Structure 1
Amino acid sequence: MVSIDEVARLAGVSTATVSRALSGRGHVSDTSKERVRAAAASLGYVVSASASSLASGRNRNIGLLVPFLERWFFSTVLSGTATELMRQGFDTTLYSLAEDRELRRNVFDTLLRRGRVDGVIAVSLELDDDETEGLLALGIPVIAIGGPNPQLSTLTVDNVGVAHLATQHLLALGHRKIAHIGASGEFDLDFHIPTQRRQGFELALAEAGIDVNSTLFEPADFTIEGGFRAAKQLLGRPGEQPTAIFAASDEMAIGALLAAREMGYSVPTDLSIVGVDGHELGEFFRLTTVDQFPLRQGARAATAMLTALRGGSAPEPTPLPFELIVRGTTARPAAD
């Protein structure tokens, strides 16, 4: 195994200079830093994580808490977070807090208390008072993405505003018979995102003078398959058909698009469809959506964490941006 002494000899500097150059702590001239990095690369030298931890008092490791791993949105946020942290030389430890309450309790009561992480980023998790207090008691920075938590530094998502904007787009095109594909109660968990998006949808309708009680609603499970089945139910009902569908996620919107085409609807001539998220498949399907920039959400959380670790102040509760992206699945109703 290559030692730090060998790197120092090859670079023509002291071992202390090698340590400062590779750790990023302390001043080293650009010339010396370049020589050290070149020497380390040629010898295949990698800084020992345990030695670095002992010297700095840090693990250079951030804990990431998420409710689901298999969902595209969460994996995309995590990708943005992990990529930014890796650029700064940090590892990540992932904790998936699904429906298993015992497992979730073990993460907060045991795993996070082992002192292996320098900070925690919680992604779209509604933490109860005990969990929040447990995180704060660790004495390390905690950054949250999602709904507001008055005790934590939070990057907030305005899900009511997101849905309101998507529905306003359909209304501005002249649609009045708008159906909604949302989520059933079993998926209305942390921060009640499906409920908030339905509230934004109904708020926009009410502002337009439309009776929200007369609108069609079909629950799904935030997947393409779920959106496909829900759209089949909506479009297969007898009576007056909707001219537009607002789906509470892009995946459900894509499923609705596929179902509509299978049933002989021309999108957007016969039926307009809009989603939410900014899914990577949206461009392929020419889907109109409200982009939440999930990759950027993750990167912003990582930047906020790094700032806090360097002694800077944690961010005040900050609203995350979103933007309507108009593509090829929305148009004026055929009657117009």
Structure 2
Amino acid sequence: MTHRFPIKEIARQAGLSTATVDRALNDRAHVSPQTKLRVTAAIKELVAQESQLAARGRRLFFDFVIEAPSRFSREVKAAVDAILPQIGTAVCRPRFLLQEIMEEQEVVGALKRILKRGSHGVCLKARDTPKIRDAVNALASAKIPVITLVTDIAGTNRLAYVGLDNAGAGRTAAYLVAQTVGNASGTVLATRSHERFLGEEERKSAFAEALANRCPKLRIVSVEGGGGVSFETSKILLKAMDSILDLRAVYSMGGGNRSILDTLEGHGLKPKVFVAHDLDQENKRLLLERRLDFVLHHDLKIDIGNAFNAFLAFHQLLAEPASVSVSTVQVLTPENVPES
């Protein structure tokens, strides 16, 4: 594997030991394919960031630990790549741990490794569990700031939350369903990727309350799990099909929308309105195919920019304290899909 970086630097970027990186670079035994991919990705990141090294300023390492479907993680990484060139006060190097499903112990293990090796900040999208809260507090106690992305983690000493107004998004979804369905009776399917994502819980609670006020004849059937991953989402939805009668609407809070649509259509069900979240490439295609009616979207670049500003302010590299505000959703339809 050709490269021009010291093994120690690659190891720091990849979050691995120098011995592991050395084995991967020299194609030695007992190196998993996933580890090789992490080393390759680290070298690519170092190449992409090398131009920044000419800039004057402090060099900072930031860790992004994201549990999300790959389609969303790609959007996060693209947003980071777009924001980095705009940062002039320091040379910022991101390190990514992106997995579609991360169990509690995996997240805790990743945060403990970061605590051990050091970091200038952690941007975290993870479930809200007691052990993850403890790990976040341990980082904060070690002066490693943690910013939660899109979904918050309650009762911790995290530095800030960046992302959308989840309760406002839920109320917006209820409004769109009510305007489309009217005073009809029937079922609304509300799907979440996991019960422990606090952001999705906030969306669900606000949606249910607002919909009950606007459309009291509608009944909500909740389906939770699958992590927004297509196969897992379909498997969990199939178990709930008997309870979905007279389907009027779908509010998908956690993704896997093509799988949801295909599963419903396989059972002869077609909602009058389907409201989803985030304009990733899959949802963009579904909108253009007119299989989705509305996508509640917010600009991740704004969120990532807010996160970096909060990190830089924490390290006293900004003249003024950073102001972090939640994002309001944009309502996208097949008629106003942005080209990029």
Q: Under TM normalisation by the shorter chain, which class is it?
A: 0.5 to 0.7
**Whole-Å Cα distance in 2 between the matches of residues 239 and 273 of structure 1?**
15
Higher relative contact order (CA 8 A, sep 6+): 1
Alignment partner of 1:282 is 2:289: no
**Whole-Å Cα distance in 1 between the matches of residues 153 and 229 of structure 2?**
26
1:311 match: 318
2:122 match: 120
Retained in 2: the 8 A contact 1:84–1:303?
no
**Whole-Å Cα distance in 1 between the matches of residues 67 and 277 of structure 2?**
19
1:266-277 equivalences under 5 Å are 271-277=272-278
1:4-153 equivalences under 5 Å are 58-68=58-68, 70-85=69-84, 88=87, 89-95=91-97, 98-99=102-103, 101=105, 103-115=106-118, 117-124=119-126, 126=128, 130-145=134-149, 146-147=151-152, 151=157, 152-153=159-160
**Whole-Å Cα distance in 1 between the matches of residues 285 and 244 of structure 2?**
32
How much does 1:80 deviate? 1.2
CA pair 118-315 structure 1, distance change in 2 beyond 3 A? same
Retained in 2: the 8 A contact 1:227–1:256?
yes
- Percent identity between matched residues is 14
Aligned with residue 216 of structure 1, among 211, 217, 221: 221
2:44 match: none
Which whole-Å deviations, capped at 9, do the CAs of 1:74-125 have from their partners, x for residues lacking one?
4422331244235544221224583252x5444444533434x333322355
- Identify unmatched segments of 5+ residues in structure 2: 1-49, 336-340
2:299 match: 293
**Whole-Å Cα distance in 1 between the matches of residues 267 and 230 of structure 2?**
16
Alignment partner of 1:179 is 2:185: no
Taking structure 2 as the reference length, what is the TM-score of the superposition? 0.63
**Whole-Å Cα distance in 2 between the matches of residues 120 and 77 of structure 1?**
14
How much does 1:233 deviate? 6.2
CA pair 178-47 structure 1, distance change in 2 beyond 3 A? closer
Retained in 2: the 8 A contact 1:144–1:153?
yes
* Aligned-pair Cα RMSD in Å: 3.8
**Whole-Å Cα distance in 2 between the matches of residues 61 and 208 of structure 1?**
48
**Whole-Å Cα distance in 1 between the matches of residues 320 and 127 of structure 2?**
22
**Whole-Å Cα distance in 2 between the matches of residues 134 and 314 of structure 1?**
24
Which whole-Å deviations, capped at 9, do the CAs of 1:201-254 have from their partners, x for residues lacking one?
211222125167x433334522334554566666x64895122222223423x3
What is the number of residues matched between the two proteins? 267
- Identify unmatched segments of 5+ residues in structure 1: 1-45, 329-336
Retained in 1: the 8 A contact 2:187–2:245?
no
Aligned with residue 329 of structure 2, among 317, 322, 332: 322
